[in-house]
Each structure stands twice: as C-alpha cells, then as structure tokens.
Amino acid sequence: ADRGGTPGDLTGKRIVISAGGTREPLDPVRFLGNRSSGKQGVALAEAAAARGADVVLVAANLEVPAPANVDVRLVSSAADLERAMTEAAAEADVIIMAAAVADYRPSEVRAEKIKKEDTGDTLVLTLVRNPDILAGLAAARKPGQIVIGFAAETEADPGLLLELGREKAARKGCDYLVLNRVGWTEGFASERNEVRVLNRHGDIVIEVSGSKMSVAERILDLLS
Ligand code: CTP
Ligand code: CA
C-alpha cells in the first residue's frame, strides 16, 4: 500500500545497485565485517525492476534474499565489490552505492589460521585504507550517468547530522547522497528507514520515513 512509483517509468534504464556489507578476510576462517543487512539496497533493486529497469545487484553478504528479475553478482570483500561495480558501471545509466563498504582491511591475509599460542593475550591488527569506490565511480562517470551514494552516520543531533551529510555530499562528488542515521538499533536490520536525500550542493531534495520499500520508491522517483 505504501508503494509509490509509476509502473514502467524506469523502462530501458540500466541501474547498478550495490547492497549489503563487505567482509575483509583476516585468515582462512575469519573476517572483519559490519552490520549492514542489505535490506535498503535490495528494496531499491526490487522496486527498480518492478518499474521496468534493467537491474544489476552487486550483493555483498546479504541477510535477505535477492529479488527475482535482477542480475545478481555475488561479492564479499571491498576489492571484489570494486571490481564488480567498475565492470557493471561501464553499461549503467544509474549507479547506486547502498553497500556498507569496509573503510579498512587487514594489511595481510594470513594463509593459515591465527593461533592463540603464537599470539598471546593481546592481538594487534594492522589495517590499511580501502579505496573509496563511490568517489572513484563518481569521478569516472560517463556524461549523463547518475551516481547516488549513501551516508551512514551515528550523529544524534539532526543539525550536526545534516552538516556531516553536506560535507560528505561535497567530498564524494555524486549527484545525490542518501543520508541515514544508524546506531545500535537504527538502520541496519530494521524494516523501516528515515532518510534525507541531498543533492551535490547539499540541498535537501527528499525527506522520507517509512518502510525501506517506500524509501526506495521515493529515491527512484529522482530517476523517472
Ligand atoms: N563507500 C565506498 N567505498 C568506501 C567507503 C564507502 O564506495 N571505501 C561508499 C558507501 O557505499 C556509501 C558512501 O561511500 O555510498 C558513504 O559511506 P560512509 O561509510 O557513510 O562514508 P565514508 O566516506 O566511508 O566516511 P566515514 O565512514 O568516515 O563517515
Ligand atoms: Ca565508511
């Protein structure tokens, strides 16, 4: 009942969406991860396909099933996700980076399990920065290609949250940034979402709260 959108208004548009959370391998049995469920990205993919778009879903460790009628490309680490997005972006009219990408990865991936007896009472890991995939895709975009990013912030004060979103919108160079507050209970596993969408100048173009599907529909309205 809370679905918006016009059936078929995205027909012919090729939309590439990343969803989920990356996992950065540490050794053959362990990874560093995050709490993204993939629900908002999957809702975007489902809604876009229902409106007639050709959808590629680059799926990183989803906790929910991928929708039917989309081309799913499974990835795990940030490096995998970057490769899959770069390949799919070559044929995309729209790129949406809803995935939670690890900012850092372990500096080395051990060939063998890390053993306590070799490590002792504390274990110090060295992490190195991952490339900013969204900023790279935005910088490399073809004429007419639309790039949409997400911003996950824990800031509770609405004014400061908006400031962080504006700074991030300016830094990323994307056309729109979906600003999302996340926390121990908000955001990830939730069925609902509350977002503001900023344009590249930091102006609020959408304010919506509701199911992740209704949020998806409003975001996709920017493309029709
Ligand atoms: N992103 C990305 N590559 C990264 C990190 C983030 O493409 N290495 C993308 C995310 O998919 C999202 C956007 O950048 O669309 C914002 O992610 P977020 O974590 O909110 O921002 P960061 O730029 O990583 O800044 P920070 O985590 O320090 O707030
Ligand atoms: Ca980050």
pTM, two decimal places: 0.96
ipTM of the complex: 0.99
For residue 19, give Cα distances in angstroms to 27, 85, 89, 122: 24, 11, 15, 34
Q: What is the DSSP letter of 196?
A: E
Q: What is the DSSP letter of 146?
A: E
Nearest CA to 41 among 224, 213, 221? Answer: 213
Element of type H or E holding 25: strand 24-27
Atom number, ligand 1, closest to the C-alpha of residue 135: 7
The torsion angles phi and psi of 79, rounded to 5 degrees, stand at -65, -40
pLDDT(185) > 80: no
Identify the weakest region by mean pLDDT among 47-51, 100-104, 180-184, 219-223: 180-184
Span 190-212, pLDDT tens digits: 888 999 999 999 999 999 999 99
pLDDT of residue 177: 98
Residue 13 counted as an annotated binding residue: no
Distance 118 CA to ligand 1 centre (A): 34
The number of the ligand nearest the C-alpha atom of 180 reads 1
pLDDT(154) > 90: yes
Query: How far is Cα 118 from Cα 72, in angstroms, rounded to an integer?
Result: 40
pLDDT of residue 2: 45
pLDDT of residue 178: 98
Residue 212 counted as an annotated binding residue: no
Q: Average pLDDT in the 71-93 region?
A: 98
Distance 152 CA to ligand 1 centre (A): 8
DSSP per position, 59-126: EES-SSPPPTTSEEEEE-SHHHHHHHHHHHHTT-SEEEE-SB--SEEES---SS---HHHH-S-----
Q: What percent of the chain has pLDDT over 70?
A: 98
Query: How far is Cα 24 from Cα 80, in angstroms, rounded to an integer?
Result: 10
Question: Which amino acid type is present at position 218?
Answer: R
Q: Average pLDDT in the 40-44 region?
A: 98
The number of the ligand nearest the C-alpha atom of 149 reads 1
pLDDT(50) > 90: yes
Q: Average pLDDT in the 142-170 region?
A: 96
Pocket lining for ligand 1, CB < 6 angstroms: 78, 97, 99, 101, 103, 130, 132-134, 149-152, 168
Ligand 1: residue whose CA is nearest its atom 18: 151
The torsion angles phi and psi of 137, rounded to 5 degrees, stand at -65, -40
Query: How far is Cα 207 from Cα 169, in angstroms, rounded to an integer?
Result: 16
Question: Which amino acid type is present at position 115?
Answer: K
pLDDT(1) > 90: no
pLDDT of residue 4: 60
153 forms beta bridges with: 181
Distance 128 CA to ligand 1 centre (A): 15
Residue 103 counted as an annotated binding residue: yes
pLDDT of residue 164: 96
The torsion angles phi and psi of 195, rounded to 5 degrees, stand at -135, 155
Across the chain, what does the average pLDDT equal? 95
